[in-house]
Chain A
């Protein structure tokens, strides 16, 4: 019998793949709300994978930010827009072909990177949730990209306000 962590890895990985598939191509329902809910499940099962890697901080932030905030806003917008015609729309050949192409490019990239990388044997509990180390790396080694990112978010925020308030004096 394989160890429990291996078993859990297959459970979470399987869940991620199945939910991800059902999010983009659900054969039973073309309802955008259902797709959004399956995306939430995908995110939650990915958080499970992070926990198995002892990355508790990443897992918590993944659920807090993506499942808890971003996806709720998605749901909010979907419900307000009432996308009825989305349910009737069939899967188009063009979209399918472009999607398949992009997936193939990503898979190619992944194979290239992963085949070159040496596998890490065991991360172990010593890297368990080192929020402090993560903070240090972000604010010392990568401080410039980090700050540039926050500037980018600020620009996006100002842009949204500008777009939504058309009659600014």
Chain B
């Protein structure tokens, strides 16, 4: 069945493989999202010395399997709850906002090289191998703000509105710090293509960019917490001040879409960090692009393991640190990170210029 594909014309092959890659990435991300929700609950339980959701397994049996059935239970709960729309909301935007939050999170994954090849060197494991990969990512990420702002506006009540306003200010501020923090990476690599960034780091553990650019990684990591609205920076939905922030008026599946969007964003920024700073799909002992199917699968696994590690870091930080105050957050973004990032760019530019002389 698979042999006949070789004789198709290249355009048809390209369409087939792209569609397959999109489907697989989409499916894996969705599974990852629900897994990370369970992981979040279990890890938080361990940190707080509780047990956490460990009971739900396969229905009608005694098989619990670490409580992973909780994934399905959570999903069902969201689907079956009453979908209530208050009568004072601006209906069109109220319906659009959750979708607008979710879409950019998935679009970001399109340029991430999640593996080398599966044996065929012409079929690289990235959905869109763009020359301006990183700019595309930042462009799409910046569109994610609209979902939250519109949710705040559409809800037409005080707390969501404040949450929406807060989030737009927060996300724009930290986008600047985030964008400035990755410029040194591209000064070193000399290309905006994410595949080239991974190629630069393919020599093994010591060539990973996190050693050369620890400052850039630090700023990017913290900006990623702010961009994904995670604690310690979850101002847009801080419960003690804003009830639920921008999603106060949302229920059932519409709320679930915000929830999915938050976790999909987390996965996207974790994959981004793995690609930029931790060598992407390359194992710690270095590797060339795979020539066999098994090596290719190994590279995929390597990427997934790194992403899972970063996700655990995100979850760990959430349950360890208290929330910042809003003015402290803005102060940190504008008066600390942006100057540090600019300084980092200057130093790196000087070093690169001297090195090449």
Contact = CB atoms under 8 A, between A and B. Distances in A.
A64 interface: yes
Nearest to B134: A60
Interface in B134-185: 135-136, 138-143, 145-146, 149-150, 152-153, 161, 164-165, 168-169, 172, 175
B172 A69 contact: yes
A113 B142 CA distance: 35
Contacts, number: 69
A22 interface: no
Interface in A69-121: 69, 72-73, 75-76, 79-80
Contacts of B136: 56, 60
B18 to A, nearest CB: 14
Contacts of A129: 130-132
Nearest to A76: B168
A56 B131 CA distance: 8
Interface string A2-17: 0000000000000000
B99 to A, nearest CB: 13
Contacts of A73: 172
Contacts of B146: 37, 40, 72, 75
A161 to B, nearest CB: 13
A68 to B, nearest CB: 3
B35 interface: no
Contacts of A131: 131-132, 192
Nearest to B192: A131
Contact of A76 (B93, B130, B165): B165
Interface size class of A (residues with CB under 8 A): 20 to 34
B176 to A, nearest CB: 9
B175 A69 contact: yes
Given A69-B175, A131-B132, A64 B168 contact: no
Contact of B168 (A56, A60, A75): A75
Residue among B131, B138, B141 with max Cβ neighbours from chain A (10 Å): B131
Interface in A26-84: 33, 37, 40, 56-57, 60-61, 63-64, 67-69, 72-73, 75-76, 79-80
B135 A61 contact: yes
Contacts of A57: 131-132, 135
B175 A79 contact: no
Contacts of A67: 139, 142-143
A67 B149 CA distance: 14
B93 to A, nearest CB: 8
Contacts of B132: 56-57, 60, 129, 131
Contacts of B130: 56, 129
A37 B301 CA distance: 41
A48 to B, nearest CB: 12
A128 interface: yes
Contacts of A60: 132, 135-136, 138-139
A63 B150 CA distance: 18
Contacts of B141: 68
Given A56-B132, A67-B139, A72-B172, 15 more contacts: A33-B93, A57-B132, A60-B138, A60-B139, A61-B135, A63-B140, A63-B142, A68-B141, A68-B175, A72-B142, A75-B149, A75-B168, A79-B149, A79-B161, A129-B132
Interface of B: 93, 130-132, 135-136, 138-143, 145-146, 149-150, 152-153, 161, 164-165, 168-169, 172, 175, 192
30 contacts: A33-B93, A37-B150, A40-B146, A56-B130, A56-B132, A56-B136, A64-B139, A64-B142, A67-B142, A67-B143, A68-B141, A68-B145, A68-B175, A69-B142, A72-B145, A72-B146, A75-B146, A75-B149, A76-B165, A76-B168, A79-B149, A79-B152, A79-B164, A79-B165, A128-B131, A129-B130, A129-B132, A131-B131, A131-B132, A131-B192
